[in-house]
Amino acid sequence: MEQIRNDIIYFLKSQSFMDSDTQFAENESLTKAGIIDSIGLLELLDHISERYSIEIPEDMLTPDNLDSLQGITNLIVKLKTERS
C-alpha cells in the first residue's frame, strides 16, 4: 500500500498538482486542500487505469474512493485483488 501511495503522490507532483514540499494527511480531502480538481481527477483516473491495469467501475467513482490518498489506495488494492 505504501508503494501505491507513493506512486499517487509522485504522479500529483510530476503533473504539478502539488509542490514537492506539500504535506497532507492520508484521509485529507484532495479537492478541499486545492490539490486536485475535476480535470485533474480525470488525469489521475487515467494514470491509475494505465499504471495498475485496472478499470474502475462507474459505481466506484465516489468521493469516498477518490478524494483522499487513503480512499484511492484502498480502491486500487481492492480492484487489484478482485482481478487476481
pTM above 0.85, yes or no: yes
> Tell me, what's the pLDDT at 22?
85
For the chain, the distance separating the N- and C-terminal CA atoms, rounded to the nearest angstrom, is 16
> Tell me, what's the pLDDT at 74?
97
Q: What is the CATH number of the domain that holds 26?
A: 1.10.1200.10
Mean pLDDT (10-residue bins), the chain, 84 residues: 94 91 90 92 96 95 95 96 82
Domain count, the chain: 1
Cα 54 to Cα 64: distance, rounded to the nearest angstrom: 18
> Tell me, what's the pLDDT at 6?
94
> Tell me, what's the pLDDT at 49?
96
Range of the domain at 60: 2-83
